[in-house]
Structure 1
């Protein structure tokens, strides 16, 4: 069966956040745009993000909120299309939103509001979106007008598409159940671009030592901690799970952790535990240490810490603890060193660290320098945001920059 050949000005691989943003921007410039999506509907990751409310950007966006081998790369795009530009788009579509902790912006009702807004923008710009599309092959054409040919299958139907500009917005390896894949890296390598090492980011930790049992017993308990690793630290909630530890503080620090590293947890951020315990010894001399600690940390956690750090003194009143003993326990409260065995991996990771090496990409247009008409945007690039709306802002900014250039 012969595949029909269709031609477009712009073909975008992936109907996620960056792909839809790029499509709408290019379509509004009068470009004939086709978006190809392998899943059964566009924007699946948008819909599940932020607990179904989509943390679509942040009031405070800086280059420091992003991890990349080239920390300057993201600056041009973030400046060209800012958080304020996206907020103004949201407001134009009357999407209700709210600010949460750390300047994070979420939809008040549903992530579907953001997806519908992007789809409406695409429809108004004449963008065509096709789902159930499996990309089989990409090749370069020897023509100034039509530079790339794609062979694909839509359902059972073979298709051949030729285009002037090809935009890879295929996402990365995170959450394969929502369509995460490495096809963008394969296209990059096919055209001679290098790809930096990849690993799961914004992901929970697991343990194989005695911490595993402790986490299982405390599963469901959350508390504020300062989590530190490799010179970075985040103060946020941590959640014990039946597999290990999660929560915003842990997801954030996971992006700086490498296998074999230890983490340091301050269970009393902002409190000098040594001073507090010295004062408690004077003012509450007859109390048990666990009773005093339970005021700030909760009984279940303190029971576990007692087993770890002072089991032989469990029933001694504070007055009988030496200053040295209290100093040692205080040091652990402000600096509990734990060693994860692994992360939960791409299955639950919100992002993929690493990706297409930005050294070969124009920071202004997202075009591959040595491959005219080939663009990479969003998560497929070696640019990864912190938790808090930064990865979506990178999708909007990089998608917009490419949309102006294709």
Structure 2
């Protein structure tokens, strides 16, 4: 069959590109090896899909080129997607930090995307492997199908249990596109045996600022039997490099609070004072790490200030991460230097596009990666439709 575009991947970005191109008059085929469309969407946000964020801006994304995402995000904003959600009568609500969720099920977002594809006459083939990709005379071929445009929307290798692979990078390299080394992002850290003390308080959570270099996130931190997790940790993990230390600020006013505790309960020990500020098990672990055995009243202020450093800058050097199996997204990917920021088209291969998680653009936790999927998909879809009209004229 002859199409204007073949889109590889029936995830958020691929379906958005297909719907956009199809509704603009292009004949589009979507191919995916999975038996169901939008599998990552269905498990996102605890099953309610954190479909975008009120605070989307370019600074909330990581890329070797920090300017690349600006064009697409400006031309298809979070409010454009919210309008589409409301057009489909999907009730939604805001949670913390501008995160927007469906009141009902994440399946509503998949149904929305499939409905938009249907409006555009898009053909979707699920349970279908990609196979060999041919390219000659300005057309791309997969089996018996051919098209002037081919879209890489297969995502990254995060969450392999859903069938995710690194095929996007193989295709990119087949056509000479660069690839920024992929790595797990928005992922829990593992700690070595020297941090056994904190592994033993698995299940304890607290509010903290997690930071690396000049980047910090103030959200919840969760201690696990493997290491560290929780929103603040997932956020900072996208910036982490192997061997680097991360710091947790549990209480920026810890020194003054410990001095106040010294005056209020001079006969108490450090653990009692820490228990006023932190969950008991964490207070116990920290007291053991600090090792200040004296009663508070017998401590010099300088000793308390030194002890407070463990609350204002509790430092860990992760042994690694829990990898792609637990990573919500993949950082790195198809090099943006190979692509047009306006259309997502490969500069050296006319008609080849790359969008969504396959590209070296990674958003913060909280709906940002979905917004990149929508925006990059729309950018590619519009460009595909323009190419189709030009070819037909």
Provide the rounded CA distance (Å) in 1 between the counterparts of 2:254 and 2:23: 58
> 1:274 aligned to 255, 269, 283, which one?
255
SS at match of 1:297: coil
> 2:370 aligned to 392, 397, 402, which one?
392
Provide the rounded CA distance (Å) in 2 between the counterparts of 1:305 and 1:289: 9
Provide the rounded CA distance (Å) in 1 between the counterparts of 2:267 and 2:289: 22
1:317 maps to which residue? 295
RMSD between aligned residues: 1.1
Provide the rounded CA distance (Å) in 2 between the counterparts of 1:317 and 1:135: 69
TM-score by length of 2: 0.96
SS at match of 1:395: helix
Counterparts in 2 of 1:128-277, with a 5 A limit?
A: 128-143=123-138, 147-151=139-143, 160-211=144-195, 213-268=196-251, 271-277=252-258
CA deviation after TM superposition for structure 1 residue 141, in Å: 1.7
Counterparts in 2 of 1:339-378, with a 5 A limit?
A: 339-378=317-356
1:59 maps to which residue? 54
Structure 2 unaligned blocks of 5 or more = 385-393
CA contact 1:204–1:250 (8 Å) conserved in 2: yes
Provide the rounded CA distance (Å) in 2 between the counterparts of 1:238 and 1:336: 12
1:301 maps to which residue? 282
Provide the rounded CA distance (Å) in 2 between the counterparts of 1:91 and 1:397: 17
CA deviation after TM superposition for structure 1 residue 8, in Å: 1.0
Provide the rounded CA distance (Å) in 2 between the counterparts of 1:214 and 1:139: 56
> 2:109 aligned to 94, 114, 117, which one?
114
Following superposition, which runs of at least 4 residues in structure 1 exceed 4 angstroms of deviation?
A: none
CA contact 2:274–2:287 (8 Å) conserved in 1: no
SS at match of 1:305: helix
Provide the rounded CA distance (Å) in 2 between the counterparts of 1:110 and 1:241: 28
CA deviation after TM superposition for structure 1 residue 221, in Å: 1.2
CA contact 1:215–1:243 (8 Å) conserved in 2: no
> 2:33 aligned to 35, 38, 43, which one?
38
> 2:10 aligned to 15, 25, 29, which one?
15
2:271 maps to which residue? 290
TM-score by length of 1: 0.93
CA deviation after TM superposition for structure 1 residue 340, in Å: 0.6
